[in-house]
Chains A and B, each alone.
Chain A
Amino acid sequence: MLQTEEIIRLNGIYKRLLSNAGVKLYEGEGKIVGPNEVEVTQLDGTKIFYSAKHILIATGSRAQRPPIPGKELAITSDEALSLDELPKRAVVLGGGYIAVEFASIWRGMGSTVDLCFRKELPLRGFDDEMRAAVARNLEGRGINLHPRTNLKALVKTEEGMKVLTDHGEEIIADVVLFATGRIPNTKRLNLEAVGVELDKIGAVKVDEYSRTNVPSIWAIGDVTNRMNLTPVALMEGTYFAKTVFGGEPCKPDYSNIPCAVFCIPPLSVVGLNEEQAIEKAKGDVLVFTSTFNPMKNTISGRQEKTIMKLVVDAETDKVLGASMCGPDGPEIMQGIAVALKCGATKAQFDSTVGIHPSAAEEFVTMRSVTRRVSKPKTNL
């Protein structure tokens, strides 16, 4: 399969990156046995001990399976990426980015897809208007949405898997994907013995410099459960190296980090969403939105609107957040993120001439305020 070949190729590239940098790569399971000692169990079972001035934990996370009867029948994203064949009927449990992305992928390939999630809308934590757009689009593309729904049990039958929801529904599926969250990989690291503190979900606790409570032990990436995105892990890793070996202690900056959800069409955001902006801004918040059917759709006939949004601090004119749900959203948002990170104002956005015709130009041509939200008055 071409995809497997590609993964192997990239794997090889990463190995070369390490060797070119002079990093020694040992294959095996690593365990911390002291503040400065790591034990590696090699593939043949033999154990080797290495001492180090600093130990960095970057073991990431893994998909978790909720305790639902029949959970062994379900798969997680790992298996989902390597299925032998496309499921004709799929049930996806989860409301996060992994769930909606797989729902979109399988639907795009022609599967019947049922998406079950706990809340009213998928993608909790994202801008509500964008969440609604995503839900609308998923439905528009033929995915069956089951909001406020959890699964009660999975039962194997002759016609496939019978999936029982807590609304009493029964759905027959070839594949059930649990995409209900990922948990940090800390169980087999022996951290308790060494005294490294974990939080209640098992993530390694670290300070702003990514240092654990043991001075010689550090942790970055998904295992610390801060912002679980590759570019953030890269940032944390870079800053760790600078702090510990570059002589310049520096803290990663988590403000205005853009990200994307690759449902179809995708969602991309940077900065504060509308709800967060209203909370955090001192005064009023101006919301600018542009909703339109992209040019391509006027010929193709697809009824699927793109929505783009800027949230602005009325007092300072600073753009507090930008979001977009529509084709090419993630590609468009990257440049917007640079501007936002540097405190660009709406006026600066507006003074930028548009590239025509594009969807992106909407971000620099939002002339009228869609709504002005005043801070709710608190009763003293």
Chain B
Amino acid sequence: MATALSAPKLTTTFSSSQTLQTLCKRLPNSLSLHSPSSPLSLSTARISLLSRRASFSHRRHFAARAESDNGAEPRRYDFDLFTIGAGSGGVRASRFAANLGASVAICELPFATISSETSGGVGGTCVLRGCVPKKLLVFASKYSHEFEESHGFGWKYEVEPKHDWSVLMANKNAELQRLTGIYKNILKNAGVTLIEGHGKIVDPHTVDVDGKLYSARHILIAVGGRPFIPEIPGSEYAIDSDKALDLPSKPEKIAIVGGGYIALEFAGIFNGLTSDVHVFIRQKKVLRGFDEEVRDFVAEQMSLRGIEFHTEELPQAILKSADGSLTLKTTKGAVEGFSHVMFATGRKPNTKNLGLQEVGIKLTKNGAIEVDEYSRTSVPSIWAVGDVTDRVNLTPVALMEGMALAKTLFANEPTKPDYRAIPSAVFSQPPIGHVGLAEEQAIQEYGDVDIYTENFRPLKATLSGLPDRIFMKIIVCAKTNKVLGLHMCGEDSAEIVQGFAVAVKAGLTKADFDMTVGIHPTSAEALVTMRTPKRKIRNGSPPEVLPN
């Protein structure tokens, strides 16, 4: 933790930071960054040191502004930062703020595998109800495919391995407990005060946690989001992703409503665990917003594994029959015999019951907290990061936003999260990894582009005999040769695309890719050996399809 020794360094940075000065000039009301405070806590001592150094004209300028806003008395706060929500964004911001010398508190609802208005858990969605349990279930479900593959490699067994659902759930839950404990330790080791309870904002500097009031110079809202189930007759019979990650037994036949990544991931999980899976989507294709060829490819590969897609079919009602099975009534008819109906139709930011309206925090039209580029809300002392702001709802992005905020508030380095070339993955089976633009976006933004694609059978499939294939695509700006987008669907896509994301973010060209020698034998090497474009798009003229 920072001590008075570090203070002089910080003040020098303050005075010389042009960006910070500009930032402060832009801020609407009180410059809470510079509010002088009592010398009570070590961390706030730094700030008071600043206000005393009013000899610099610009600093005097800040101090004068602050004083004129909140009167004469310096304000004391219990904490420099109070964070509501101990998920990816909240923990990251809190931890690094504390490392930078701030006094930090964080509150979080008590742990439960299913989230609600009264339950959550340290670690948040990613650790407890998202990325982690999802990935563990994906691992579990992949084995059936691997058992099938193994025969071509000589493995024989009399009885096909059977899956014990209760073992998986018990181990998964034990792992979640372990992880939530680790997150608690991370906070403890960083010196962050963890308070269990429901946090609600009372005023721009006060948070109420189950009746107890805490004051803070800054408040961070990082409460994330929750699955959303649309209201239709019988929707009480439907489950969401929280429940799907913690079922008491394997679904025999499941209807998954939704065409996004969550729907596809669960389709793969349940299919791999030998459930009968039906996916109902509103659009013609799954994964709206993804590259068109990837959308087609993943759906085809998933179909080959036995998943049944019902396209352009909307759910209208869920009916429960006498034997307990569910019928899904849709715009195209009805499908019966489901043991479970799951809605994976989107997630909404958790903005209820936080006192947001009362304190005047503006929301966007889809209910997310509106923030500027520095994650500041419409109330200057209140900030928000992660899914509750509905920017790019990925854990590493929440981490980036949290880190940037900690730097902005406590390291004198106003930092804007950088949303360019963010890679991500869908852990469907086969999985998707991508970074940069889809073909359609690239054509729109850049006009002339060259498209390189490969669609091949991976080495493993040549012996397994299974119809697994890999699709890869590189989109290149015809003018600059820069790689605008890279897409892959097939085994190991997520692991493979990460390294390429460094290259794309760094603005490397197709020539740079091509001069990199391949690692052999791998699937990844195909991305550095694509010699001929499949087609060249020249604005205004139909794509030139090149002979193979």
Which of A's residues lie within 8 Å of B, judged by CB? Answer: 2-3, 6, 9, 229-232, 234-235, 253, 256-260, 268, 295-296, 298-299, 328, 330-339, 341-342, 344, 348-349, 351-361, 363-364
Shortest CB distance B374–A (Å): 17
Q: A331-B523, A334-B519, A337-B516 are in contact. Are A357 and B498 (CB under 8 A)?
A: no
User: Does B418 sit within 8 A of A, measured CB to CB?
Assistant: yes
What is the total number of residues of chain B having a CB less than 8 Å from a CB of chain A? 57
- Which among A3, A231, A257, A359 is the interface contact of B463 at CB below 8 angstroms? A3
Residue of A nearest to B526 (CB): A334
Which residues on B sit within 8 Å (CB–CB) of A299? Answer: 136, 139-140, 171-172, 175
Residue of B nearest to A322 (CB): B499
Structural contact, A355 and B501, CB atoms closer than 8 A: yes
Which residues on B sit within 8 Å (CB–CB) of A354? Answer: 396, 399, 423, 498
Shortest CB distance B78–A (Å): 29
Mark the stretch among B56-64, B290-298, B504-512 that contacts chain A.
B504-512
- Which among B171, B396, B433, B508 is the interface contact of A338 at CB below 8 angstroms? B508
Question: Interface digits, B393-422 against A, CB 8 Å rule (1 contact, 0 not)?
Answer: 011110110000000000000000010011
Which residues on A sit within 8 Å (CB–CB) of B502? Answer: 335-336, 338-339, 344, 348-349, 352, 363-364
Residue of A nearest to B96 (CB): A367
Which residues on A sit within 8 Å (CB–CB) of B399? Answer: 354
A310 to B501, CA, bound (A): 17
Residue of B nearest to A109 (CB): B154
A256 to B521, CA, bound (A): 17
CB contact list, B422-460 vs A, under 8 A? 422-425, 433
**8 nearest A-B pairs in the assembled complex, by CB-CB distance:** A335-B499, A360-B498, A334-B524, A335-B500, A336-B499, A339-B502, A354-B396, A231-B518
Interface core residue of B492, B519, B521 (most chain A CB under 10 Å):
B519
A371 to B355, CA, bound (A): 47
A232 to B463, CA, bound (A): 26
A361 to B498, CA, bound (A): 6
A187 to B279, CA, bound (A): 64
User: Does B131 sit within 8 A of A, measured CB to CB?
Assistant: yes
Shortest CB distance B387–A (Å): 13
User: Does B356 sit within 8 A of A, measured CB to CB?
Assistant: no
A360 to B135, CA, bound (A): 15
A3 to B171, CA, bound (A): 37
Residue of B nearest to A252 (CB): B517
A357 to B178, CA, bound (A): 17
- Which among A232, A296, A298 is the interface contact of B517 at CB below 8 angstroms? A232
Which residues on A sit within 8 Å (CB–CB) of B69? Answer: none
Shortest CB distance A250–B (Å): 11
A254 to B542, CA, bound (A): 41
User: Does B546 sit within 8 A of A, measured CB to CB?
Assistant: no
Which residues on A sit within 8 Å (CB–CB) of B505? Answer: 348, 351-352
Question: Interface digits, B156-174 against A, CB 8 Å rule (1 contact, 0 not)?
Answer: 0000000000000001100
User: Does B489 sit within 8 A of A, measured CB to CB?
Assistant: no
Which residues on A sit within 8 Å (CB–CB) of B153? Answer: 2
Residue of B nearest to A9 (CB): B462
A273 to B132, CA, bound (A): 33
Structural contact, B527 and A334, CB atoms closer than 8 A: yes
A364 to B403, CA, bound (A): 14
Interface core residue of A328, A339, A359, A364 (most chain B CB under 10 Å):
A339
Shortest CB distance A102–B (Å): 16
A210 to B60, CA, bound (A): 70
Which residues on B sit within 8 Å (CB–CB) of A331? Answer: 492, 495-496, 522-524
Structural contact, B396 and A339, CB atoms closer than 8 A: no
Q: A298-B175, A332-B499, A339-B499 are in contact. Are A352 and B423 (CB under 8 A)?
A: yes
Q: A295-B136, A355-B423, A355-B497 are in contact. Are A260 and B519 (CB under 8 A)?
A: yes
Residue of A nearest to B167 (CB): A299
Q: A339-B506, A342-B503 are in contact. Are A355 and B527 (CB under 8 A)?
A: no
A368 to B106, CA, bound (A): 24
Which residues on A sit within 8 Å (CB–CB) of B135? Answer: 295, 357
Shortest CB distance A18–B (Å): 17
Which residues on B sit within 8 Å (CB–CB) of A355? Answer: 396, 423-425, 433, 494-495, 497-498, 501
Which residues on A sit within 8 Å (CB–CB) of B515? Answer: 253, 341
Shortest CB distance A243–B (Å): 16
